[in-house]
Amino acid sequence: MEPLSEPAQLRAAAALIAGAERLVVLTGAGMSAESGVPTFRDALTGLWARYDAQALATPEAFEQDPALVWGWYEWRRELVERVGPNAGHEAVARRDAVVITQNVDDLHERAGSKNPIHLHGSLFTPRCSGCGRAAGAPAVGGAGTEGPRTPPSCEHCQSLVRPGVVWFGESLPVDALEKAVEAAANADVLVTVGTSGVVHPAAEIPQVTAKLGGTVIQVNPQPTPLDPFCAVNLRGPAATVLPEIIR
Ligand code: BV8
Ligand code: ZN
């Protein structure tokens, strides 16, 4: 079959989504790119440019240089506080979809999506690296300065407070992963947006839907390893395409 033209693909995706009773949306860093939040791989500009995200987002990096790692996450949190959700987040929030995100920002919540499933944690839930207690949300409105910052110590056990995210080599929160897999298994349609589809186990979620007979639609300007599982691959940016297909 001739590949569908762009408008025909958009119409086909919009019809599939409109007819879906159980809609799931899986998002990656590309979902927040048009809000001005650098994608995971691009979150290393300026002072951070010399680091590799995959090396910095690890327990070993925090162990070795807690101030550098804490500074990177605080810089990213303060950047998210200064921006807002984009038209893509708002389109997703219009539907009663289950939102599963790999992103650690709070833009889905701020757009109105209820209880997005955070597979990789959040910039806004720091916790003690020793006793695991939630540490009070850091002071709002930091200066957004780049560079190392000394992490606070836990009020209860004095261990260092760490970012509330899942690092490489750490297991995902069991309840989040279970809820995400269950939603994907029951989905009529899963829309995967703005993820490079290379980090596991998140990258396996669209395959769960496809293997159990659901339809997967991808929104990403670039091809990804998820392409073969997708009935429709829309090559465009989230904030432009999502308002066209989620009405
Ligand atoms: C684990 C939080 C048990 C921190 C992140 C199986 C096979 C291979 C490897 C593994 C495997 N199982 C486990 C592993 C190891 C590892 C892994 O997957 N490694 C890969 C890289 C080889 N996984 C883990 O360690 C996971 N833990 O499985 O525990 C275990 C442990 C050890 C060994 C085995 C098992 C934990 C992974 C979680 C890591 N934490 N984030 C933080 O944010 O700092 S991952 C982080 O990177 C993101 O959360 C995201 O998940 C991932 C990739 O980022 P993306 O969101 O995809 O963004 P990216 O920048 O890559 O790409 C942006 C995309 O957007 C692009 O495609 C671009 O085209 C597109 N785009 C750009 N602009 C737009 C756009 N799209 C739409 N609109 C636009 N405008
Ligand atoms: Zn503690």
pLDDT tens digits for 114-167? 999 999 999 999 999 999 999 976 666 566 778 889 999 999 999 999 999 999
Q: pLDDT per residue over 54-90, tens digit each?
A: 899 999 999 999 999 999 999 999 999 999 999 999 9
**C-alpha span between 182 and 180 (Å, rounded):** 5
DSSP string, 72-83: HHHHHHHHHHHS
- Secondary structure (3-state) at 191: strand
Measure Cα distances from 109 to 29, 133, 186, 195 in Å.
15, 23, 23, 19
Of the listed ranges 45-54, 159-168, 227-236, the least confidently predicted one is: 45-54
Q: What is the mean pLDDT of residues 202-219?
A: 98
Nearest atom (ligand 1) to Cα of 202:
51
Tell me the binding residues: 73, 76, 102-105, 128, 131, 154, 157, 194-196, 220-222, 238
Share of the chain above pLDDT 70, in %: 92
Q: How high is the pLDDT of residue 68?
A: 94
User: What's the complex ipTM?
Assistant: 0.95
> In terms of C-beta density within 10 A (0-12 exposed, 13-18 middle, 19 or more buried), how is residue 122 classed?
buried
Which residues, at least 6 apart from 162, have a Cβ–Cβ distance to it below 8 Å? 62, 66, 70, 126, 127, 128, 129, 151
| Residue 2 pLDDT exceeds 60 | no
Q: What is the mean pLDDT of residues 176-199?
A: 97
Pocket around ligand 1: residues whose beta carbon is below 6 Å from it? 28-30, 33-34, 39-41, 57, 102, 104, 120, 165-171, 193-196, 198-202, 219-222, 224, 237-238
CA of 112 from ligand 2 middle (Å) equals 33
| Residue 4 pLDDT exceeds 70 | no
CA of 158 from ligand 2 middle (Å) equals 6
Q: pLDDT category, 51, cuts 50, 70, 90?
A: confident
As annotated, the active-site residues are: 120
Measure Cα distances from 93 to 40, 82, 108 in Å.
23, 20, 7
**C-alpha span between 234 and 172 (Å, rounded):** 29
Q: pLDDT category, 48, cuts 50, 70, 90?
A: low
Q: Which ligand is nearest to the CA of 174?
A: 1
81 or 52, higher pLDDT: 81
Closest among 211, 215, 216, 179 to 197, alpha carbons compared: 216
